[in-house]
C-alpha cells in the first residue's frame, strides 16, 4: 500500500463553533473509518487570564477564531465529508469555492510553535503597562477609578497607581489583573 501524503488544511467554521466542528469531525472520522486519511484536527488556542469575583481565572480562547486546522489527505470522499459537517463554511483556498490550498510547512510550524510557546509561557505575562500611562481600576474597592501608573514591580506583577479620590491623590498598589489600559 502506498503511503498517503497528509497536508495541513484550514477549514473555515462559524466563529464560536470551532469546538463543535472538532467534535463532529472526530465523530465522523471514527464512524467512517477515515483515520488513515485524517491525522489530527486542531483548534489553536491561547490561555487568557481574567478576574472573576476577585479571583484570577484562566480561560482558553481560540487565537484564530473561525478556523480549524486539519492534517489530512484529501482523497475520495474526505473533502466532501469535512464540508458536510455542521457549522463548516468550507476550506480556505485561493479561489472562493475552488480547490482547498494546503498550508505551507513554514506556516504550520509557526502556528504549532506558537501553540507550544503559549503552553510553556502561560504564566509568563509581558509587562502590559508603562510608567505615566493612564489606567482604569477594574477590580477591588477602587473599581472604576482612573489613575496614572507611577511604578511597576515586574517580579510581583504589581503596579503603583496614583488615583485621585475626593480631590486628593492616593497611591494604590494593584496587580496587573486589577487594572486595564484606558482607551
Per-residue pLDDT of the chain (183 residues; tens, 9 = 90+): 466 789 999 999 998 999 999 999 999 999 999 988 999 999 988 777 777 776 777 778 888 899 999 999 998 889 899 999 999 999 988 677 778 889 988 888 888 777 666 655 544 555 678 899 999 999 888 899 999 999 988 888 889 999 998 889 999 999 888 888 886
Residue 175 phi/psi, 5-degree rounding, is -80, 165
Q: Are 67 and 92 in contact (CB under 8 A)?
A: yes
Q: Are 154 and 127 in contact (CB under 8 A)?
A: yes
Task: Tell how strand 67-72 and strand 55-62 pair up.
Answer: unpaired
Q: Which domains does the chain have, with CATH numbers?
A: 7-120 (3.30.70.940), 134-181 (2.30.30.30)
Three-state SS across 100-147? ECCCCHHHHHHHHHHHHHHHHCCCCCCCCCCCCCEEEECCCCCCCCEE
Backbone angles phi, psi at 33, to 5 degrees: 50, 50
- Say how far apart CA 147 and CA 164 lie, in whole Å: 7
Amino acid at each position: 500500500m502506498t503511503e498517503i501524503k497528509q497536508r495541513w488544511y484550514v477549514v473555515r467554521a462559524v466563529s464560536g463553533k470551532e469546538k463543535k466542528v472538532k467534535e463532529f469531525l472526530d465523530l465522523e472520522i471514527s464512524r467512517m473509518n477515515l483515520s488513515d486519511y485524517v491525522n489530527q484536527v486542531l483548534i489553536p488556542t491561547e490561555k487568557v487570564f481574567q478576574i472573576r469575583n476577585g479571583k484570577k481565572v484562566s480561560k482558553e480562547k481560540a487565537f484564530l477564531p473561525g478556523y480549524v486546522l486539519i492534517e489530512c489527505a484529501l482523497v475520495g470522499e474526505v473533502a466532501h465529508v469535512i464540508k458536510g459537517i455542521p457549522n463548516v463554511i468550507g476550506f480556505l483556498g485561493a479561489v472562493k469555492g475552488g480547490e482547498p490550498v494546503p498550508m505551507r510547512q513554514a506556516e504550520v510550524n509557526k502556528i504549532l510553535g506558537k501553540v507550544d510557546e503559549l503552553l510553556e509561557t502561560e504564566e509568563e505575562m509581558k509587562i502590559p503597562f508603562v510608567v505615566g500611562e493612564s489606567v482604569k481600576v477594574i477590580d477591588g474597592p477602587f473599581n472604576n477609578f482612573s489613575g496614572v501608573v507611577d511604578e511597576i514591580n515586574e517580579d510581583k506583577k504589581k503596579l503603583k497607581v496614583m488615583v485621585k479620590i475626593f480631590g486628593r491623590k492616593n497611591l494604590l498598589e494593584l496587580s496587573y489583573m486589577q487594572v486595564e489600559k484606558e482607551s
